[in-house]
Structure 1
Amino acid sequence: MNNKDELLKIFSIKLRTILSKLNLNYDLLQEIRLRVNAPLLVIYDNREYFITAEAELALAETIPYIITKNEIRETMEYISNYSLYAFEEELKQGFITITGGHRIGIAGKAVLEENRVKSMKHISFINIRLSHQVKGCADKVLPYITDEQEECYHTLIVSPPRCGKTTMLRDVIRQLSDGTKNRKGIPVGVVDERSEIGACYMGIPQNDLGMRTDVLDCCPKAKGMLMLIRSMSPRVIAVDEVGSVEDIEAIEYVMNCGCKLIATVHGNSLEDIISKPILGKLVKEKLFERYILLDNHGEVGHLKEIFDEKGVKIY
């Protein structure tokens, strides 16, 4: 990870010192968890570890370093550059995206106004989710989701949590947008509701999504898909984690407009997706033409199976 030092700057002085001494490959570091009066935890190479005051990894809760309220406060000051007010809109969503595309999830006391979250105070829990872009991870997938005329199939990427579906989607977008030796690049529109695909900071994607990609950041998926169709003329629209009634209605609209759709969803199998009351309708009607199933066997984003619209296994 090239921006390791920049990432460490967001932590309190004490935490920064401990984390800087850890002998870690930051390409395998997935999450750093801070909770008031609870142990310092990391998710590293798909395993949870406690961190000791001596900057050592431990699988068991043996004398871990305990996070204090002041360290949470100091860390939030560094994250927000001493101005949480400037991140008011992000706080409503429960996260802040920082330089490098890393997402800072926060929890505490929600401040409500007319039954909507207005802000957040007494922040006591922080989850730093590190952004990792794996260029080339979609190399095996791309031939199966495009045809001889370089058109893209309506595609659904299915995987359990932490199995690389967003990472896979990100690289599919980049390769479709930039083009490859065998395929011309095409315009792609991305609705990035939780800032996870492009990881925009001040409106600029921190991840490489390709030269022909337009991004709607922090926009609800259903509204964003319609906005992109009307304003940016994409050939392909990409969204992450679909599932609501509004999402499905927007997906049907996109498909009927002649625009191709690539989406992701949590699931363990094709049968799992079919059983979902809302999304299962699209599967049964054969609106999606390709299903990419991932798992983490051996590596995050491991390609498990690919099915066509009839449920026939083609990989």
Structure 2
Amino acid sequence: MSLKFDEATGCLTAALRQSLDLLDESAKKNTWEIRLRIGSPIMLFGSGGLLFVSGSGRLGKLPPGGGRLISRHDMEAVFSKLCDYSIHSHEDDIKNGFVSVEGGHRAGICGAAVINNGLIKGIRSISSINLRVARENPAAASEICGELFPNGLRSVIIAGAPSTGKTTILRDLARRLSSGFTGRAYKVALIDERGELAASRYGRSSFDVGFSDVFTGYPKGEAIISALRSMSPEMIICDEVSHTMEIDAIRQGFNSGVCFAVSVHASDIKDMLKRPAAKELLFSGAFENTVMLSPLGGPCRTEKIYRTDELLNEIRGGGNDFFDVCDVGAENDADSGGKSKTA
């Protein structure tokens, strides 16, 4: 993991990397985000919460006194480097608030919006950058595979808050299902709109996604339709489903006999049930289960696995006992030595 941290910091200027290079290996491995803000010291977010970095590489919960602050020149230099010194070629990403970086890292961008006819056309005067360090965990989906895929494919929603490991789990799920970890190999299409799942460069994936067919840079809805037409997949995996066109494409795939694994943002299961896109996915009839990830204990920890019929019952106002389902989270770790229980 520290290698991914060092790879991510390669996007920064030498001056900003200086203090980060002094961090110990444990700090690097447990960092999920590198946060830059004009007029502030470098901040890290990870298993220890939000921490400030001093010029000597020390971490603290309070801003260091007299440390180096990020200047406007620093921010402009980092932004230019993130865009490979060609901001124009990254315009579509920038107007959506992020830049995908080689290695699967992702830089969120904050600044002043450029508006034209009521639409965001770009961002100028960049004031903050949040560099999310890509993680590769070869065991991320092992528990989910054991629970949900022992006897074949099914469709599943992976739900969780930011930094709970949704992308990491989908990536490992693609690797496992396409490589025969569940007893046989399946034809998997991996939809990588923002270059985070496979991080392909010149046709080769930077991450291990097994024998998946990777669609890079396509809008998700169009990629799903293209995959159905061209690659005859048995499973399609895609990150952050949120638009009606994407859900319509999923319905089309489901009607063609294809299974899906997708992720959605939600802080908890009740939050998920309030989100229109998540409810559309549940009502589509395509998905049998929802995996809710825990915000506690680090990324890729399953809190509970829910059955879709019980979630739909809750949406329709059918009662509160739908929470009594398959619990494979922290409670199980205490009760059964880490072995999951099935309701």
- Report how far residue 141 of structure 1 moved: 1.0
SS of the residue corresponding to residue 255 of structure 1 reads: helix
8 Å CA contact 1:51, 1:65 repeated in 2: no
Moved more, 17-26 or 79-88: 79-88
Alignment correspondent of 1:301: 300
- Output the CA distance in 1 between the equivalents of 2:276 and 2:95: 29
Alignment correspondent of 2:55: 53
Name the % identity: 28
Paired residues for 1:200-279 under 5 Å: 200-201=200-201, 204-211=204-211, 213-279=212-278
8 Å CA contact 1:248, 1:279 repeated in 2: no
Alignment correspondent of 1:40: 42
Alignment correspondent of 1:123: 126
- Report how far residue 81 of structure 1 moved: 4.2
8 Å CA contact 1:189, 1:234 repeated in 2: yes
8 Å CA contact 1:222, 1:250 repeated in 2: yes
What's the CA shift string for 1:276-313, capped at 9, x where partnerless?
Answer: 34432443565311221210332321122223333372
Q: Which amino acid is the alignment partner of residue 259 of structure 1?
A: V
- Output the CA distance in 1 between the equivalents of 2:235 and 2:116: 37
- CA pair 179-305 structure 1, distance change in 2 beyond 3 A: same
8 Å CA contact 1:216, 1:224 repeated in 2: yes
Q: Which amino acid is the alignment partner of residue 306 of structure 1?
A: I
- Output the CA distance in 1 between the equivalents of 2:61 and 2:244: 41
Alignment correspondent of 2:330: none
SS of the residue corresponding to residue 2 of structure 1 reads: helix
8 Å CA contact 1:191, 1:217 repeated in 2: yes
8 Å CA contact 2:251, 2:284 repeated in 1: no
SS of the residue corresponding to residue 310 of structure 1 reads: helix
Q: Which amino acid is the alignment partner of residue 132 of structure 1?
A: R
The two structures have a TM-score, normalised by structure 2, of 0.81
- Report how far residue 122 of structure 1 moved: 3.1
Q: CA RMSD in A?
A: 2.5
8 Å CA contact 2:259, 2:286 repeated in 1: no
The two structures have a TM-score, normalised by structure 1, of 0.87
Alignment correspondent of 1:193: 193
- Output the CA distance in 2 between the equivalents of 1:5 and 1:272: 35
SS of the residue corresponding to residue 173 of structure 2 reads: helix
8 Å CA contact 1:221, 1:239 repeated in 2: yes
- Output the CA distance in 2 between the equivalents of 1:86 and 1:183: 43
SS of the residue corresponding to residue 142 of structure 2 reads: coil
Q: Which amino acid is the alignment partner of residue 194 of structure 2?
A: R
The alignment status of 1:104 with 2:110, answered yes or no, reads no
- CA pair 164-3 structure 1, distance change in 2 beyond 3 A: closer
Alignment correspondent of 1:183: 183
What's the CA shift string for 1:126-147, capped at 9, x where partnerless?
Answer: 2211001101121111133225
- Equivalences, count: 311
Moved more, 161-170 or 273-282: 273-282
SS of the residue corresponding to residue 69 of structure 2 reads: coil
- Report how far residue 3 of structure 1 moved: 4.9
Structure 1 gap ranges (5+): none
Alignment correspondent of 1:169: 170
- Output the CA distance in 1 between the equivalents of 2:283 and 2:96: 33
Structure 2 gap ranges (5+): 311-323, 327-341
Q: Which amino acid is the alignment partner of residue 15 of structure 2?
A: K
SS of the residue corresponding to residue 298 of structure 1 reads: coil
